[in-house]
Amino acid sequence: MITIGIVIFPNVEELDFVAPFEVLSYINKIAPNSTNVMLIAPSLEPTQAFNGLKILPDASFETAPTLDILLFPGGQGRIEWMKNPLIRTFIEAHQSETTYLTSVCTGAFFLAEAGLLLGKEATTYHSAFDELAAYGVNVVSSKVVHDGKIITAAGVSSGLELGFYLLRELFGVKLAQEVAQKIEYTIDINSL
């Protein structure tokens, strides 16, 4: 089973984390026990997202298990949280164990702030390209950009593409395409 941790924080953009959560969890309806997708927050207290959705995390930074994939969504809250020492400590504690470090939208700034995107190709929300480039990142205008163990996705709805990209990498084209058909999302898995 692949353990995937999605980091949430106050004022996270809902679709940034819900879209990959849905795609990466749905595979279990086809191939049971394929993934364990968890929401991880600074504490176990309810977290309120940018548009008002209240979320109960599965784990805190202190109680998070070993992770195969670590995913950072973006949103207005990232401006404060990307510089928070708790985030940096959490990334440092888990980066070596992960197969992939990933982001959606402005979640890329969590990886950039930790120095993990320096000299790498990455993407983010289109209006934040210049800001990300200032971190020494080669910014690419694409839905999904894969550079080593780093996989970044563009703005908001691109979390769907990130989810399918990860399914393809982990479980193959056929299973990823089946998940897309089941959730009625049209995508060419091979073109990701």
Virtual torsion, Cα 61, 18, 99, 164, nearest 10 deg: 180
CATH code of residue 98: 3.40.50.880
Structural domain of residue 89, as residue ranges?
Answer: 2-191
Tokens representing 10 are 């106050």
| Positive/negative CA dihedral, 143, 133, 102, 126 | negative
Catalytic residue among 37, 64, 82, 105: 105
- The pLDDT value recorded for residue 22 is 97
- Does residue 10 have an active-site annotation? no
> pLDDT truncated to tens, each residue of the chain (192 aa)?
999 999 999 999 999 999 999 999 999 999 999 999 999 999 999 999 999 999 999 999 999 999 999 999 999 999 999 999 999 999 999 999 999 999 999 999 999 999 999 999 999 999 999 999 999 999 999 999 999 999 999 998 999 999 999 999 999 999 999 999 999 999 988 887
Give the chain's radius of gyration (CA, Å): 15
Q: Give the count of domains, the chain.
A: 1
- The pLDDT value recorded for residue 189 is 86
